[in-house]
């Protein structure tokens, strides 16, 4: 439900609040959501705040990852633009096309066609990408891999 905070988000927010005492850059940053996908932690942060969570050469991200005890940390800037969100998750070179599908119930869905390389090289599964896009933009998408 919209407006509800997950237990994981609350846990992450508490740990980041403790960490911001040591890392001042975090005190001016916004955290919108935190998602745990099988040990991969995705932080959805305010526009322009990703660099505050990453730091020089990833130093802050490494500290955050250590505090959260995660295998991998991904920082995504909140954006309502589907293309910009996808570009943060998938290399822009691997996005072939984005089209709209009108469904019989009158709703519209977007279909994203990606190159076959995306599945092999991506740090996230296609289902994880769909879930993150839904959380960030509120849009339900379909992802199709281009057949070679």
Tell me: the pLDDT tens digits for 64-98? Answer: 999 999 999 999 999 989 999 999 998 777 899 99
Give the domain CATH number at 87: 3.30.300
Give the pLDDT confidence score for residue 1 in this predicted structure: 46
Per the structure, the complete domain to which residue 13 belongs is given by 7-77
- Residue 105 sits in the same domain as residue 129: yes
Give the pLDDT confidence score for residue 111 in this predicted structure: 96
How many domains does the chain divide into? 2
Give the domain CATH number at 40: 3.30.300.20
Is residue 89 assigned to a domain?
A: yes
Q: Grade residue 4 by pLDDT with cuts at 50, 70 and 90.
A: confident
DSSP-derived 3-state class of residue 8: helix
Is residue 2 assigned to a domain?
A: no
Is residue 1 assigned to a domain?
A: no
- Give the β-pairing of 72-77 and 40-45: parallel
Q: Grade residue 123 by pLDDT with cuts at 50, 70 and 90.
A: confident
User: Global pTM?
Assistant: 0.85
Instruction: Name 86's Cβ contacts closer than 8 Å, sequence gap at least 6.
Output: 95, 98, 112, 129, 133
Strands (E), 38-116: 40-45, 72-77, 95-102, 108-114
Give the pLDDT confidence score for residue 105 in this predicted structure: 96
Instruction: Flag whether pLDDT at 117 surpasses 50.
Output: yes
């Amino acid at each position: 439900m919209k407006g509800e905070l997950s237990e994981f988000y609350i846990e992450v927010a508490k740990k980041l609040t403790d960490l911001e005492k040591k890392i001042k850059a975090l005190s001016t940053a916004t955290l919108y959501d935190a998602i745990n996908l099988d040990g991969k932690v995705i932080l959805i942060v305010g526009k322009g705040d990703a660099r505050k969570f990453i730091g020089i050469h990833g130093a802050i991200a490494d500290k955050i990852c250590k505090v959260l005890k995660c295998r991998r940390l991904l920082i995504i800037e909140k954006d309502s633009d589907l293309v910009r969100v996808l570009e943060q998750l998938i290399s822009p070179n691997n996005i072939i096309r984005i089209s709209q599908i009108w469904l019989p119930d009158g709703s519209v869905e977007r279909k994203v066609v990606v190159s076959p390389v995306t599945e092999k090289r991506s740090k996230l599964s296609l289902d994880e990408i769909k879930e993150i896009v839904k959380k960030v933009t509120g849009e339900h998408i379909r992802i199709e891999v281009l057949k070679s």
